[in-house]
Amino acid sequence: MKKILITGFSGFVSHYFLEHLSSSKESVSILGLDLFHPQFPIDHYKDIECRFEAINLLHKEKVDNLIFQFQPQYILHLASYSSVAFSWRNPIESFRNNTNIFLNLVDTVRELGIECRLLSIGSSEEYGNVSEKSIPITEELETRPVSPYAVARVSQEMLSRVYVDGYGMDIVMTRSFNHIGPQQKELFVVPSFVKQMVEMKKRGLTRGVLHTGDVSIVRDFLDVRDVVSAYSALLLHGKRGEIYNVCSGIGRSLRQVVDLIADKLSLEIEIREDPKMIRPNDNNIVVGSNEKIKKETGWMNDIPFEKSIDDIIAHWDTIE
């Protein structure tokens, strides 16, 4: 039976990763670690034996004990403060947490001598402000982080390289672009837009005002169900010490996203940009190349952006 440890278990991505594993019809044993208990049932996934432990990953001794007992073959490291906006408000906490929990995890694996593959999840934010001539972004582009969150992600990647080169550990790294999908929290931009507009529709409105940050910025959005299939492919077929973009390869401005949601809900939307919602030194355009992951693992992204939006709308439509 394959044994997988998942950090950040109670978050948005983990739930979909479990669904993906369940669809593969392979027997899997899962140990999920998180500060908070999951809001989804963990005992209904077919062919998955799942156990959860509430833990602060900064407590290394507890991490050591759990990993020693479980002896994972694979580790999916999802745990982090994943909001860029949060990192601007809380730079010290964001950096310390995101860097030190990874360091605790990887050094525990080294100390215990456990032979396992670790997938270190990074971010497209590592690239920073990119000129249009560098689009689509490949993994060879130099990282130029412009937020505390992005600096922590680059640090995590550099630590991964240290442990690969210095200790021969089996670590694969991602630079994951913007995820979207049903059940994503509204603090992220797309579900925030959808929630606000669905609420307008429920109130019987045909037009409304949407307060936003800079809607001219361009992002590469990938459905979470494609994200988890990419992570599965990398755990199985990624090359040790390599970095992979996880992205759709298609860029859309936030203005285009708003227009699509409004069209689907038959709403006329007036956009009012709020200077308080604009991040310092935000990246203007972030669109990735997914050629490397496709070539080296056989992964393909399957879910159209329009279906992602339909499913997010359906999710918020069911919430009172």
Q: Are 96 and 13 contained in the same domain?
A: yes
Q: Are 168 and 272 contained in the same domain?
A: no
Q: Is 265 within the bounds of a domain?
A: yes
Q: Is 303 within the bounds of a domain?
A: no
Cβ-based neighbours of 174, under 8 Å, separated by 6 or more: 119, 120, 121, 122, 230, 231, 234, 243, 244, 245, 246
Q: What is the pLDDT of residue 17?
A: 97
Per DSSP, 135 falls in state P
Residues 48/18, Cβ–Cβ less than 8 Å: yes
* Full pLDDT tens readout for the chain, 320 residues: 899 999 999 999 999 999 999 998 889 999 999 999 999 999 888 889 999 999 999 999 999 999 999 999 999 999 999 888 889 999 999 999 999 999 999 999 999 999 999 999 999 999 999 998 999 999 999 999 999 999 999 999 999 999 999 999 999 999 999 999 999 999 899 999 999 999 999 999 999 999 998 999 999 999 999 999 999 999 999 999 999 999 999 999 999 999 999 999 999 999 998 887 777 777 789 999 999 999 999 999 999 999 999 999 999 999 87
Domain that holds residue 275: 189-217+251-286+308-317
Residues 73/109, Cβ–Cβ less than 8 Å: no
Q: Is 109 within the bounds of a domain?
A: yes
Distance CA 109, CA 75 (A): 10
Q: Are 126 and 232 contained in the same domain?
A: yes
Q: Is 87 within the bounds of a domain?
A: yes
Q: Is 122 within the bounds of a domain?
A: yes
253-274 b/e (C-beta count within 10 Å ≥ 16 → b): ebeebbeebbeebebebeeeee
Distance, C-alpha 82 to centroid of its chain: 8
Q: Are 212 and 118 contained in the same domain?
A: no
Q: Are 201 and 128 contained in the same domain?
A: no
Q: Are 204 and 87 contained in the same domain?
A: no
Burial class (CB in 10 A: 0-12, 13-18, 19+), 25: exposed
DSSP letters of 208-222? EEEEES-TT-EEEEE
Q: Are 81 and 40 contained in the same domain?
A: yes
Helical H segments across 71-136, by residue range: 84-89, 91-112
Distance CA 240, CA 246 (A): 16
Q: For the domain that residue 111 is a member of, what is the CATH number?
A: 3.40.50.720
Q: Is 302 within the bounds of a domain?
A: no
Q: Are 225 and 258 contained in the same domain?
A: no
For residue 6, give the 3-state DSSP assignment.
strand
Number of domains in the chain: 2
Q: Is 112 within the bounds of a domain?
A: yes
Q: Is 48 within the bounds of a domain?
A: yes
Cβ-based neighbours of 196, under 8 Å, separated by 6 or more: 208, 210
Q: Are 133 and 275 contained in the same domain?
A: no
Q: What is the pLDDT of residue 187?
A: 87
Query: Looking at beta carbons, which pairs linking 40-46 to residues 24 or more positions away fall under 8 Å?
Result: 40/15, 42/18, 45/18, 45/19, 45/21, 46/22
Q: Are 39 and 87 contained in the same domain?
A: yes
Q: Are 79 and 46 contained in the same domain?
A: yes
Q: Are 85 and 115 contained in the same domain?
A: yes
Q: For the domain that residue 260 is a member of, what is the CATH number?
A: 3.90.25.10
